[in-house]
């Protein structure tokens, strides 16, 4: 089986978000970039499948400029066999999905996170599925393969749903599909020499254009209330905040 895992290169979850150039550019100053946390779950599940199903290979794909290569090497260190980098800035869901679809020929299973934690579109998997004519599902919390059948559990509002489909398939993943894997020394050493192919983007007109970014309005000061006077809190929630 051939598995493609699509990873995003995103700011660490503890990052402070800022913009420069009049709100048109993300400020990378002091920001640590990581494999998208949801993509990391997808990758971990792919490696588990590779370990349990003979003849399985795992390719990672990232849409990004050259600065994403350390993130891709980390995915190789975790256990992917080879990698593809589409040399383009991942500006929006449709553009990224188009690049993935253009490079996804021949894969039986395409995994990625439920969403990237930068733009939070949460739809690349659905778009890739639609572009390739494959079923797609997200957020998948459990994924098992029996022959060509895939059994999944998907989170829905206030519960979960069990779903079956046949390969080929696209899935957006989230915990607890697998435990994150930490690369070991041998993995890190071998990742340096694993193949990383760079391909150019298919020319694709943008259907959306990000004009600028904004930060939320700063929060006002917190109003402290004595622990001996909780009735005052209830009163304020009712009369001042008007939320009760």
Partner 1 sequence: MAVLVFVEVGEGKVRKSSLEAVAYAHLMGGGVTAIALGTVAASELESLGKYGAQKVLHVADSKLDQPVIQAYASVLAKAMQDENADVLVLANSSLATPVGAKVAIKAKGSFASNVVELPSTTSGFVVKRSIYTGKAFSMVEMKNQKKVIVLKKNAAEAKEVGGTAQIVPYSVALSDVDFATKITATEKASGDILLPEAEIVVSGGRGLKGPEHWGILEDLAKALHAATGCSKPVSDMNWRPHHEHVGQTGVKVAPQLYIAIGISGAIQHLAGVNSSKCIVVINKDPEAPFFKAADYGIVGDAFDVLPKLTEAVKSMK
Q: Which of 57, 142, 175, 201 binds partner 1 (CB under 8 A)?
A: 175
Question: Of 180 and 189, which has the nearer Cβ to partner 1?
Answer: 180
Question: Of 106 and 176, which has the nearer Cβ to partner 1?
Answer: 176
Residue 9, helix vs strand vs coil: strand
Residues 109, 1 contacting (CB under 8 angstroms): yes
Structure tokens at 149: 């059948």
According to CB under 8 A, which residues from 143 to 172 bind partner 1?
154-166
Structure tokens at 74: 């980390």
**φ and ψ of 113, to 5 deg:** -75, 165
Question: Of 193 and 226, which has the nearer Cβ to partner 1?
Answer: 226
Q: From residue 142, how far is each of 62, 70, 114, 166, 177 by CA, in Å? A: 23, 29, 13, 15, 5
Q: Check binding of 93 to partner 1 (CB under 8 A).
A: yes
Residue 155, helix vs strand vs coil: strand
Q: Check binding of 121 to partner 1 (CB under 8 A).
A: yes
Residues 34, 68 contacting (CB under 8 angstroms): no
Question: Of 95 and 107, which has the nearer Cβ to partner 1?
Answer: 95
Q: Check binding of 201 to partner 1 (CB under 8 A).
A: no
Quick one: CA torsion of 54, 139, 105, 121, rounded to 10 degrees?
-150
According to CB under 8 A, which residues from 1 to 60 bind partner 1?
11, 13-14, 17, 19, 37-38
**Using CA atoms, how far apart are residues 212 and 1, in angstroms rounded to an integer?**
42
The total of other beta-carbon atoms located within 10 Å of residue 172's CB is 28
CB of 32 to partner 1, least distance (A): 13
Question: Of 147 and 220, which has the nearer Cβ to partner 1?
Answer: 220
CB of 185 to partner 1, least distance (A): 27
Question: Of 49 and 123, which has the nearer Cβ to partner 1?
Answer: 123
Q: Check binding of 200 to partner 1 (CB under 8 A).
A: no
Q: For the purposes of burial, counting CB atoms within 10 Å of the CB of 209, is it exposed (0-12), middle (13-18) or buried (19 or more)?
A: exposed
CB of 129 to partner 1, least distance (A): 7
Q: Check binding of 189 to partner 1 (CB under 8 A).
A: no
Using CB under 8 A, count the residues that bind partner 1: 76
Residue 5, helix vs strand vs coil: strand
CB of 192 to partner 1, least distance (A): 30
């Amino acid at each position: 089986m051939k598995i493609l895992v699509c990873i995003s290169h995103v700011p660490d979850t503890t990052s402070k978000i800022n913009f420069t150039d009049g709100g048109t550019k993300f400020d990378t100053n002091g920001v640590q970039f990581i494999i998208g946390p949801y993509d990391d779950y997808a990758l971990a599940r792919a490696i588990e499948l590779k370990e349990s199903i003979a003849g399985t290979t795992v390719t990672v794909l990232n849409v990004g400029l050259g600065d994403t290569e350390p993130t891709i090497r980390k995915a190789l260190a975790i256990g992917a066999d080879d990698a593809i980098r589409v040399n383009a800035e991942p500006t929006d869901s449709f553009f990224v999905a188009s690049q993935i679809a253009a490079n996804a020929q021949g894969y039986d299973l395409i995994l990625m996170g439920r969403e990237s934690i930068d733009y939070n579109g949460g739809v690349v998997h659905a778009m890739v599925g639609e572009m390739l004519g494959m079923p797609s599902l997200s957020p998948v919390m459990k994924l098992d393969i029996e022959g060509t059948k895939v059994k999944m559990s998907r989170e829905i509002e206030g519960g979960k749903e069990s779903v079956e489909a046949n390969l080929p398939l696209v899935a957006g993943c989230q915990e607890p599909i697998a435990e994150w894997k930490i690369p070991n020394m041998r993995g890190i050493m071998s990742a340096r020499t694993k193949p990383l192919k760079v391909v150019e983007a298919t020319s694709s007109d943008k259907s959306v254009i990000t004009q600028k970014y904004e930060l939320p309005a700063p929060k006002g000061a917190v109003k402290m209330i004595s622990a001996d006077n909780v009735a005052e809190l209830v009163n304020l929630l009712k009369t001042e905040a008007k939320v009760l």
